[in-house]
Structure 1
Amino acid sequence: MSDAITHEIGQKAPTFSCVDSQGVIHDSSTYQEQGKSVIVYFYPRDSTPGCTKQACDFRDNMARLSSEDYVVLGVSKDSEGSHQKFISKQDLNFPLLMDREGELHEKFGTWRLKKNYGREYMGCARSTFVIGPDGNFTWLRYNVKATGHVQMLLRELGLGE
């Protein structure tokens, strides 16, 4: 059984400092100092159909999110090269963080026991967290579907149609 942490809205989010595929360090305290809200989304693997759909949905809504002071950070255990290819091929306009050792997955509780066709294994539960400028979770969902997720998030943040 997985001992993954489960966070709740209003709870203090874990602090983090993680490098993206361009070598830039993203630090949660810096975003707080800037008064930004951070959308951190965890996805299983670059360039797979569901992960591509979700990333492209974030890409297509970046203008709306940026105009409301949201920063989007994608997180997976993929390599620098994999992230760079994914960003280039899909023309992504936000950073992808490299969590090769799974530290962020553990802190956010997204590395969980999964079941597929009767097989149990540990893997990334597709999940999204919104961290307010005060460092607290303002919205979160574990085990989301890739299709329609970003539109649901926008509606719940008051940014959707």
Structure 2
Amino acid sequence: DPGWTTDSDPGWTTDNDPGWTIDSGPGWTIDSDQEWTIDSDPGWTIDIGFGWTIDSDLGWTIDSDLGWTIDSDEGWTIDSGPRWTIDSDPGWTIDSDPGWTIDSDPGWTIDSDPGWTIDSDPGWTIDSDPGWTIDSDPGWTIDSDPGWTIDSDPGWTID
């Protein structure tokens, strides 16, 4: 035979021709031809071709072709194509394309494209584009554009 085959009726088959295949009736298959694939019906798949993919039905996916993606159904995604993105459903996102963005739903955002912005919902904002601004809801503001301003609600201002 050009390759080899082992067949077990109760459970599994191994077949080797140009590459090899292992097939388990109840659950999983491993197939190797030019590259290899592991496929599990109850849960996960690993496929290595030009790029690679790991896919878990119960939770996560890793997919690499031109770039790469990691996707977790439970919570987060990391995607790298031209640039990269990290996205967490419960809380935060990091997105890098022309510039970068970090976004946290519960609290804060950092966004950098021409300049940068940091925004915290509970309290403060820092925004830098032409000049810069720092704004804190509970107390103070610093604003620098043509000149600069520091303003503290409880008591003092510098302008």
TM bin (shorter chain): under 0.3
Structure number with greater CO (CA < 8 Å, separation at least 6) is: 1
Which structure has the greater CA radius of gyration?
A: 2
The TM-score, its normalising length taken from structure 1, stands at 0.18
